[in-house]
Structure 1
């Protein structure tokens, strides 16, 4: 992988209850690190939403609640993107879920649809339960899609 501009600011915001989505967010962070970037990784409840415009790219990692809904802890993230003019921000949405439920990773779909309209959406990724070794190449492709959209 080619080295990228070290001045590129990437944020990864996540929420996790079981640790699966945190593991996915860390897998994505590792992908960016392998490309020469150092993303800021943070939980949704402490993320600086007032500074979203300071980032070149934001990655959202979430689990799905209930019947395909965004978890309560991700509501402020969703609303921040709805309320700010962030069309120039490159985004990606990733999530974990269980195929047992009829709306597998439904929160990813809800975020994807909003981000497509409100930002420059570059990638989405759904992972069954927890990331496995076989998911790492998918995480790398996700990262490459973000970098391509950033022109790197």
Structure 2
């Protein structure tokens, strides 16, 4: 199965989380591509079996502007074959902690085969590794069911 991570990061926290997730997949022997959203070729989206979206939250819980084209593409039609997961970092000081993760989750659950979400406080820590491993395992389980 063809799997990719597409992420956006302004502080480096979500980028760090994306790389930690990618390493967990590699430890399980799976090949996974990883793209900053600006470098992801949207026209290749239909070629993937799994898409993991990483986003920070902007403003009052909004999806960052650079993520809007990906979100629009995903909302444009049904992608039942596409197994998805959404992850992000945020600061729980704000009332809409990881609001962009919630926004992607809400739109993906009706358009894709959404498997899991993950929210991490600020910079991912060693203490987050168990939750990261669970995130990866849920994606793998969903992919196994459909294989």
* TM-score, reference length from structure 2: 0.96
1:18 is matched with 11
1:70 is matched with 63
CA positional deviation for 1:75: 0.5
1:115 is matched with 108
1:82 aligns with 2:75: yes
- Is there any run of 5+ residues in structure 1 with no aligned partner, and where? 1-7
CA positional deviation for 1:146: 0.4
1:101 aligns with 2:94: yes
> Aligned partners of 1:121, 1:22: CA distance in 2, in Å?
21
> Aligned partners of 1:122, 1:92: CA distance in 2, in Å?
6
> Aligned partners of 1:41, 1:131: CA distance in 2, in Å?
18
CA positional deviation for 1:147: 0.6
1:27 aligns with 2:23: no
Cα deviation code 1:25-53 (max 9, x no counterpart): 00110111011112100010110211112
* TM-score, reference length from structure 1: 0.93
> Aligned partners of 1:33, 1:85: CA distance in 2, in Å?
29
CA positional deviation for 1:85: 3.2
CA positional deviation for 1:137: 1.3
CA positional deviation for 1:84: 3.7
Cα deviation code 1:83-133 (max 9, x no counterpart): 143111000000000001000000000000001000000000000001000
2:144 is matched with 151
- State which of 20, 32, 35 in structure 2 corresponds to 1:39: 32
Task: Count the aligned residue pairs.
Answer: 145
- The CA RMSD over aligned residues, in Å, is 0.9
Structure 1 residue ranges, 4+ long, deviating more than 2 angstroms after superposition: none
> Aligned partners of 1:31, 1:116: CA distance in 2, in Å?
24
